[in-house]
Chains A and B, each alone.
Chain A
Amino acid sequence: MIFSIDGLVESHLEAIRGITEVVISRETSSPEDQLELVEETTRELMARIAAMPPHLGFGMVALVRIFETSAIASGAVASNLTLVNRSILLARWRRAPLGPARDFVTFFDKMGAFVYYSKSEGRDV
């Protein structure tokens, strides 16, 4: 039996875009000019999560959901926070005592940067 989690990943588009925006904001001093690249990077990261072995992909989606709702006490999901507050939240996860939380941030830090620069190569960014 071959499992696909494409649909599950797709349902977390907003949350993943929110994290991607934070990652790209670190790579460029003018992230507001990068809307197209944010979208392309987000889509590529979603494709990468969907291509993971199902047990890893499910785990990643679960962590996306936990991250998204972890700011609910402040009255909003993570993707609705300001970019600065989302960055602070992500930095907190980067230092979390739980390994999976740190691995989750490492994935976006590293793959986000790799995808962003892969997509932006040859463009005037």
Chain B
Amino acid sequence: MSERLFTDVLVIGSGPGGATTAAMLVENGFEVTLVEEGKHLSVDDTTSYSLDEMGKKYRSGGLNSSFGATNVTMIEGRCVGGGSEVNAALYHRPQESLLDSWRREFKIDGFELSDLEPFFERVEKDMSVSKRPSGVGGASIAIREGADKRGWSSGEIERFWKYEEGEDSTEGRRQSMTETMIPRFLKKGGRLLSGVRLQRLKCRDGVAKSAIGCRLDSGQKLSIDFNVVFVCCGAIQTPLLLGRSGVRPVGDTLQMHPMIRFAARFPTEVNDPKYGVPVVQIDEFKPEMTLGGSYSSLPHLALWLGHSVPDREKKLESWRQMAVFYVAVVSKGHGSIRRLPILGEPLVRFPVSDADMGALGLGVKRMGEALFEAGASEIYHPNTGAPIADPSGLAELGGGLPRSGAAVSTIHLFSSCQMGERDDCPLDSWGALKGTANIYVNDSSVLPTSPGVNPQGTIMAIVRRNVAHFLEGRISYKR
């Protein structure tokens, strides 16, 4: 016997897009059901960036991959709060010129900078966007020092992080969705269903009536009838759900920030994991290229150091003298998302181009140069782990990163269901799926192109804007 529920508004997916959408709607008097495939866990239920967290909060344990000439490991959250629970919580506003180009090229109505400003401000306030109150860790200091010596601009990145009076930089609390929007949603009487996978929408003549799925723990089939649905499942799952629903083929415009990580060694200790992810980045080459630091506990160093490093065991004994760094680039490629027959899972293809590999190699060279300036004694080749003892050894990387052995990954996926009035955009300027009456998309999928920086702040601001527009059409709504 199938379980049957009714709700006025159904929101599918509880990441930054879905949780924000659900909280805004319920706070404006709508009856809302928020459905999440993953579990409802708090920030404290797992240690950040740990093996345990990968198992409990990441989709496929963090081991999903796109296919292409170079495969890309795709890291996505799969828990209440989605990516906000597992990312570095870094906040960026996108460059104004980028927002303006989105408005012009994709013909997005109501997308002037002055239109967007209040929504960014609201995100910054709601999410306690802030810098660390007292100092940064050793890896951040090395990045800043190296950039200064190279004459490159760098800066401390703000985070979604809340500090109580008197707390120092190693304390405070991540402001993920389970700390912010989800409690607000629940407090106003929203209904949250976790561990529920909705497979498809039942639609007729452009009107969606219900969502069909099951409870993952019991296998109990579930049907939810609704008046309006917001699909907020992320850049991979949103097109997949719409495809399974037979509404409209989408998903051929997937974009991502390919990233490569590598380790560096210093003569003194630079690594104190209690500082978390280094917050200083080299700004000089943004938005096309971001150079920064990664979380660098002993297991992470073992992961990224490379198998062929001489005296690997000995080097890992002094792991506090090492840290992991990364290069993320804007790719011009467009990936596709297809549903595999029978399995129903997404097959993601993404063309990491020679230009992308070139940019990644150049990024490693640049970051390596900065780290040597900051006193690094060895950089480890990202593909092989071979030690590089001086800047001259980086020259070859400037010509590009070899594909063989390159462990390319991404934590930023977007643009698989773009918004705009342009004919090729499946969504209108406000996230409504064209040709349908009551289906909206409101997550990273809607971004027209790569923002070049951590996209969560941009997604949340645009999501707020789209919901505000939805509300204006239905009730008297004050920003």
State how many residues of chain A have any CB contact under 8 Å with chain B.
33
B389 contacts which chain A residues (CB < 8 A)? none
Asked whether B390 is an interface residue with its Cβ less than 8 Å from the other chain, the reply is no
Is A48 within 8 A of B63, CB to CB?
A: yes
Within B294-315, the residues touching A (CB, 8 Å) are: 297-300, 302-305, 307, 312-313
Is B313 within 8 A of A116, CB to CB?
A: no
Residue of A28, A52, A103 touching B71 (CB-CB under 8 A): A103
B70 to chain A, nearest CB (A): 9
Main secondary structure of the interface of A (DSSP, over half): helix
Asked whether A121 is an interface residue with its Cβ less than 8 Å from the other chain, the reply is yes
Tell me the complex Cα distance, A73–B64, Å.
34
A76 contacts which chain B residues (CB < 8 A)? none
B313 contacts which chain A residues (CB < 8 A)? 26-29
How would residues 280 to 324 of chain B score, 1 for a CB under 8 Å from any chain A CB and 0 otherwise? 000000000000000001111011110100001100100000000
Within A107-123, the residues touching B (CB, 8 Å) are: 107, 109-111, 113-119, 121
Tell me the complex Cα distance, A75–B262, Å.
40
A95 to chain B, nearest CB (A): 9
Tell me the complex Cα distance, A44–B61, Å.
11
B50 contacts which chain A residues (CB < 8 A)? 118
How would residues 17 to 34 of chain B score, 1 for a CB under 8 Å from any chain A CB and 0 otherwise? 000000000000000000
Residue of A28, A44, A109, A116 touching B307 (CB-CB under 8 A): A109
Tell me the complex Cα distance, A121–B302, Å.
12
B197 to chain A, nearest CB (A): 7
B404 contacts which chain A residues (CB < 8 A)? 102
How would residues 314 to 348 of chain B score, 1 for a CB under 8 Å from any chain A CB and 0 otherwise? 00100000000000000000000000101111110
B304 contacts which chain A residues (CB < 8 A)? 110
**Residue positions of B touching A, CB distance < 8 A:** 50-51, 55, 60-61, 63-65, 71, 197, 214, 216, 297-300, 302-305, 307, 312-313, 316, 340, 342-347, 404-405, 407
A29-B313, A121-B297 known; 8 new pairs, CB 8 Å cut-off, are A1-B343, A48-B55, A52-B64, A111-B63, A111-B303, A113-B302, A118-B51, A121-B298
> Can you name 5 A-B residue pairings with CB atoms under 8 Å?
A47-B61, A52-B60, A56-B64, A114-B302, A117-B299
**Residue positions of A touching B, CB distance < 8 A:** 1-3, 26-29, 44, 47-48, 51-56, 94, 99, 102-103, 106-107, 109-111, 113-119, 121
